[in-house]
Chains A and B, each alone.
Chain A
Amino acid sequence: MPSPDLPPDIPSVLDELPGDLMIWILIVSELLVFGAGLLAFLGMRAADPVAFAQDQEMLNRVAGAVNTVVLVTSGYCAARAVQSVQRTRAWLSAAMVLGAVFLVVKGMEYADKARHGIGIETSDFFTFYYLLTGFHAMHVVAGLVIFALLMRWPSPRNLEAGAAFWHMVDLVWVLLFPIIYLVR
């Protein structure tokens, strides 16, 4: 019997949202952080576009493009894991493998930069490059940890929240890649 002190449930626009409200608060927070970082990057570029273009030439665009396809495919696997009843772990495993591939490609990029003596303090461009792509890569690592936990506890609610986090990582990358690697 409902308590007479509690107001009746009123339909809210928030009921439309798929999954937990908290994961959406996290998604919005992350988008704001990365959005601010990318706009700050473009703001700094406006002060010295020639130097930024020279530094950008040292980036591996093919690696960035490959990672876009890898992450988009991984996101597809995560979405299939949520929808699949019997093959959840198989789709999750595929998403994890692709997430690991993303990190390997990113690691190769960083190693190549290190070989050329390029670090976070080399220039303003590379400071932003390392901060933004590094922060994003940390989210990929966090996503892989979440997927590992989902392999152990794959409840529909957990799966939906974990996949939403992964799609947020995917979303950030599709906005980050063109701005850091291509806008020149």
Chain B
Amino acid sequence: MSGTEDGDPSRPVRPSGRTEEEVLDAIEKRRRRPHVKLMDKQITLAHGAGGKSSHVLVEMVFLKAFDNPVLDGLGDAAVLSAPAGTRLAFTTDASVVKPRFFPGGDIGELAVNGTVNDLAMAGARPLWLTASFILEEGLDTDELTTIAESMGAAAKRAGVAIVAGDTKVVERGKADGVFITTAGVGALEREIELSAAAVRPGDKVIVSGSIGDHGMAIMIARGDLELETDLRSDTAPVHELAAALLDATGEVRWLRDPTRGGVATVLAELALAAELGVVLDEAALPIKDEVNGACEILGIDPLYVANEGKLVAVVGPDGVDDAIAALRSHPLGAEAAVIGEVRAEPPGMVLLDTAFGGSRVVDMLAGDPLPRIC
């Protein structure tokens, strides 16, 4: 504090030239808009303590990236209006993927698309998301900003608003960088019931494109395998694709997003729930050569590898042509294919007719060959 009476006598006293009024106004202004810039290079426990640092982080990183008036209000809860009588779909999804950045996407994009896709699989139009962050002390602030911007961009692409959020910081070593939980609400605008109970023998199983891209891209991005490929995660919002499918035919019985556990697992769940059999045709499965090759090396079956931008649908036989045409007319569904059929026998089981001419069981995955892929 220079310029006080008992300060260094060698330094001249230089009044600022501002009036007291001006100084007080400046303080108030600063108090309302604390910092114009987030100066911290790393996340510290203070950013989760609810004080000034938290405020700055929210304002400079999240509000900026998510950019919408509901969130800008910063209330304790977002207040939203849904059209009267609208049925709502509501879901939540946690993302803990490692590595956080991978070819084709990052944890932020994945967190948004994951919830958007879960809503889409209920036949809903995604409307609002919330995002809750658990950050590890020491996380690079620029990295968090990149992730938040990626979430903002993904939300914009999917036509949803991130309307509420929360941030906690835990000590170094108690989390791995960033964990993101998103929840989402969507509106059901069609009078449809998608469920395993609606599935009948003779229905066809359709997948919207190549399988296993996400899981294998992550596995390779970890670098443990020292494989080099051009493989990218397929992370994408599939709500438009789902909408195109549902608009094209009223014969859609069941929809799933084949994430962890892959196509095999969602179909095994369907077979059990519907007490019907599903028979897949190995030769019809759309699988990229890179995915097939990596799976061969690792001894993993691509049917069990995660997807983040695909849908699996069961469609009544009369709607199959329309369904395939509608899917293929959308860029995300260009490689859509019929991969199998629902049969009465054997109930509760998925079988695969191998390209070799044999047949085998496709059960749910035991254990976890690919930890933390989403």
Q: Do A and B bind each other?
A: no
- The residues of A with any CB-CB pair to B shorter than 8 Å are none
List residues of B whose CB falls within 8 A of some A CB. Answer: none
